[in-house]
Amino acid sequence: MANNLRFQVVEEAFKKRAVEVKTPKERPSEYFGKYVFNKQKMHKYLRADIYDKMIDVMDNGARLDRSIADAVADGMKQWALEMGVTHYTHWFQPLTEGTAEKHDAFVEHDGKGGMIEKFSGKLLVQQEPDASSFPNGGIRNTFEARGYSAWDPTSPVFIIDDTLCIPTIFIAYTGEALDYKAPLLRALHAVGKAAKDVCQYFYDDVQKVQVNLGWEQEYFLVDEGLYSARPDLMLTGRTLMGHESAKNQQMDDHYFGTIPDRVQAFMKDLEIQALELAIPVKTRHNEVAPNQFELAPIFEECNLAVDHNMLLMSLMKKVARNHGFRVLLHEKPFDGINGSGKHNNWSLSADNGVLLHAPGKTPEENLRFVTFIVETLMAVHKHNGLLKASIMSATNAHRLGGNEAPPAIISSFLGTQLTELLDHIEQSDKNELFNLKGKQGMEIDIPQIPDLIVDNTDRNRTSPFAFTGNRFEFRAPGSTANCASAMIALNAAMAEALESFKERVDTLIAKGESKVSAILDVLREDIKTCKPIRFDGNGYSEEWVKEAARRGLDVEKSCPVIFEHYLDESSVKMFESTKVMNRKELEARNEVKWEMYVKTVQIEARVLGDLAMNHIIPVATHYQSQLIKNVQGMKDVFSTEKAERLSIRNMKLIEEIAERTEKIEQFVEELTEARKVANRIENIHERAIVYHDTVEPHMDAIRYEADKLELIVEDGLWTLPKYRELLFIR
């Protein structure tokens, strides 16, 4: 037993101690952005006229003048060399859900047999990665390799190790977007313009509207040794088998509990490095499931927030390994306990300081508030299927609807006060302004405790898109996802809703209605239209599934089928009218989504089959052989009658092991055959559907039998670290 690799790695994992973290002597505010070419450093390293032009580009959306690129590159190079940088890279976000980079050195021939450090504006602005080697959905053939990465000056350049990283978009030679950033920037531009136009009904001074995003990143930590002893974790990011621990999260003692010392050391190290990269991390805590944690930043402009989240996920993996951990970002790495999401807190703010989704202090401001609430609901209602497609994946499908996660039906929770207000406006035949109750005081009958200020909405953990006082929390995105996927769909849909709202209001005003009357007439119409998306009840109930279907909401559960919403005519029309993506780009993205789905399930099926045949069955049959020897030995020692009586339990185990291993062998054979049949289907859409319908069910059946065997086989023989070992850091 002592020679079992599982026991060795468990023992080594429990010997781990927290790595010493060298805390900077400065306050966080003093080293915040140390490795970022922010405005402060731009002011130092750029000429005044160049600096002013860059600020105009970053803050006001002015078009970048390529003539200043050389001057900007010179300033960046000077700063980078002083920081010990030797290379640069265009850092972009292809359709792999990760990031990509190709490093080049700051060196050129000097013409005299030596080398010089050189970095030109041309190299800053544009590079040429191989477009055919990234997922492109058929936009680029293998022999059509050319693609371009182009600098995004609105997201600051930063340093990782010895490399200057330049955030960029990634497009094909023919102009189509091959990444997340390009359509995200288009969506942000579209909603910014549409929101500004509507804002001017209420504020004459608004010239710009910004999209804000605050993501909450959930994740698991696992000891590196245990991770390495689980092939399924290493290759798929989740456990494909494993019986739940006797104790998991049922005691509710992990949530907000004391953070383990080793985890605290990891978090501290991560926060220091994140702050140095200007990622404004603020909150850390234990989440509900064992070994599950959360990190959240201060809200930022949406494009920058997306970049920071992608950078942070990469940073988490590196820092975790320095502390003897592996970060698990998979949405459902362990069966039977909570999965991990990435809640997207989304709002709009005007350049006059007004948060557009926040209630106001005057009737006019509250009319603005209701306008943006209702038009958000219109966007979510009209495109509820598309929004579900934007957060759906082979991995997130395991999480949605389970435990803490919202269901795979998009609805919006508003709270009692706001619901009553919208109902009042809908039923009223008067175009009159109204006031809202602000936060209320709550008296607590304990003298030492001050009164609490209660928000005007509660929270609904089962709602995928909940209003939380001054923003909406899109709770459905998965923990591995690029936030941009959900933000592209949501902001494009919002832009379309606001454009439609303004067009209809302007038409009524042109007919002689007053502005307030026209706005209220359109709002009343939209409140009625989007009413099916409003739901304040229990999103987990079976009654809600039936009710949602009756309301016309999308209740589909098949991931490949859900992706089809990207090609709904309403989706194509919306994306094209807002100039976010064209039909060709949408078709290509769906090809990529279906292909990624197939490959994910295919890898999992192969790993599960290997584990079943080369780990589970050999261990089970070895234990079965020991039991058989025991039964035979009983007959040599005891009388036949007594031996049979004493061997009853072992005989039952021998029989059960035989039955379960036989089933596993049968299911693995059926799984392999189902994959072969699916792989012969040429159309990737149809292949993805078959993988969902016929391949995945065999995997569930294999897991069920393997998990039952885990409970039967002697603990010392079981080779794979169990949940009770994986889920509790010591």
pLDDT exceeds cutoff 90 at 13:
no
Structural element, H or E, at residue 663 = helix 648-679
Q: Lowest mean pLDDT of 123-132, 237-246, 509-518, 552-561, name the range.
A: 123-132
**What was the pLDDT predicted at 8?**
74
Place 436 in a pLDDT band, splitting at 50, 70 and 90: low
Mean pLDDT of 439-455: 45
Higher pLDDT, 685 or 1: 685
Which of 398, 354, 93 has the alpha carbon at shortest distance from 210? 354
Number of neighbouring beta carbons within 10 Å of residue 653: 17
Q: Lowest mean pLDDT of 55-59, 602-606, 619-623, name the range.
A: 55-59
The percentage of the chain sitting over the pLDDT mark of 90, rounded to a whole number, equals: 73
Q: Concatenate the DSSP letters of all residues of 444-499 into one string.
A: -S-TTSPPEEEPSS---TT-SEEE-SSSEEE--SBTTS-HHHHHHHHHHHHHHHHH
**What was the pLDDT predicted at 660?**
97
Mean pLDDT of 584-599: 96
Higher pLDDT, 563 or 127: 563
**What was the pLDDT predicted at 29?**
87
End-to-end CA distance of the chain: 22
Reading the block at residue 240, the tokens are: 């494909």
Q: Lowest mean pLDDT of 8-22, 208-222, 345-359, 518-532, name the range.
A: 8-22
3-state secondary structure of 440: strand
**What was the pLDDT predicted at 601?**
98
What's the CA gap between 30 and 7, in Å, rounded?
46
Burial 434-452 (b: 16+ CB within 10 A, else e): eebeeeeeeeeeeeeeeee
What's the CA gap between 628 and 647, in Å, rounded?
10
Give the range with max mean pLDDT: 132-136, 195-199, 443-447: 195-199
Mean pLDDT of 344-350: 98
**What was the pLDDT predicted at 480?**
96
pLDDT exceeds cutoff 90 at 460:
no
Place 15 in a pLDDT band, splitting at 50, 70 and 90: low
Place 402 in a pLDDT band, splitting at 50, 70 and 90: low
Q: Lowest mean pLDDT of 48-52, 198-202, 630-634, name the range.
A: 630-634
Which tens digit of pLDDT belongs to each residue from 485-527?
A: 999 999 999 999 999 999 999 999 999 999 999 999 999 999 9
Reading the block at residue 661, the tokens are: 């291993």
Q: Lowest mean pLDDT of 238-242, 315-319, 430-434, 663-667, name the range.
A: 430-434
Higher pLDDT, 437 or 414: 414
Mean pLDDT of 711-730: 92
What's the CA gap between 604 and 232, in Å, rounded?
8
CB 421 within 8 A of CB 441: no
pLDDT exceeds cutoff 50 at 449:
no
pTM of the model: 0.93
